[in-house]
A and B are shown apart, each in its own frame.
Chain A
């Protein structure tokens, strides 16, 4: 067997014939190589950005939510300026985007979508799941949000308003879910462990971890 290795960057040393990239992967590699050859970007820029992408995940957003639950002053700052409040926790945005935090209450349930493409609060959540980027969710979330929520198993009472926010390249959202009942004695860390990606998109709520048969998915 010939020794070979797969390099995540572009300095690829994959053995010949071991792997055949598709047409569009070849296009992507070629565009990047041409830009590097022309000095417009460097291969290191891409490698560094892959590391940044790998470092972003919903656990960051969960930390933000848990802090907002235990610290009312932080919550107020978060609702006033999401980006600045996240920076307090060391979570920086690598894009020039605004972060608007949508607070769920007894009267309002928030849901976010990007009807145009796939805008998502990547700084605090990482990359979106595929269903968030596909037609059914994008088309229907703004038109029949309650039906979409029901398909996620989320039933919002009729007397609670459902608000849908549509993201853009410049404005991203993060849903601040309601703190579940029975968590009064939980530490911030224990609270963060309850917060899910889907709850921060707004397609689910966070179940009480102490209710009978309560599952937190």
Chain B
């Protein structure tokens, strides 16, 4: 048996049975943007643009490093972006321009 045989036993997001710490009973009130992000996921599924299963796989494809560094809904946002690029629904350039525009709306007005 080669030493690298078991490397694919677990994909980054498939956590069943892996070593883990005791858990804390943590919870938080959903932030407005998190709720919108969840609603967006449901709407994408209802409109057959991105299914729940596709979204899960896109999050898994981020890899364990990113999965560990992004919060739950941050992962979803990135997952949507990569899927929508791959499906040709939006382009990376469009998203970058839109993000700059959205960010500029929140900047204090120069006076």
Chain A residues proximal to chain B, CB less than 8 Å: 6, 8-10, 12, 14, 16-17, 19-22, 24-35, 38, 40-41, 45-47, 49-50, 52-53, 94-95, 113, 115-118, 127, 129-131, 133-143, 148, 151-152, 166, 169-170
Contact across chains for B42 and A49 when beta carbons are under 8 A apart: yes
Q: Is B86 an interface residue (CB 8 A)?
A: no
Q: Which residues of B contact A14 (CB under 8 A)?
A: 106
Minimum Cβ distance to chain B for residue A24 (Å): 4
Nearest 9 A-B pairs (CB), nearest first?
A115-B16, A17-B108, A136-B23, A139-B20, A49-B39, A30-B98, A24-B74, A25-B33, A129-B27
Minimum Cβ distance to chain B for residue A140 (Å): 5
User: What total of chain B residues lie within 8 Å of the partner, measured CB to CB?
Assistant: 62
B24, B30, B56: the one within 8 Å of A169 (CB): B56
Q: Which residues of A contact B46 (CB under 8 A)?
A: 45, 49, 94
Q: Which residues of B contact A31 (CB under 8 A)?
A: 40, 77, 80-81, 84, 90, 95
Question: 20 additional contacts, CB 8 Å, given A29-B33, A52-B39?
Answer: A8-B36, A16-B109, A21-B102, A26-B103, A27-B77, A28-B33, A28-B73, A31-B95, A40-B89, A46-B40, A53-B35, A115-B15, A129-B25, A130-B27, A131-B23, A131-B24, A133-B72, A138-B15, A139-B19, A169-B52
Contact across chains for B17 and A30 when beta carbons are under 8 A apart: no
Question: Quick one: CB contact mask for B67-80 with A, threshold 8 Å, 1 for yes?
Answer: 00011111001101
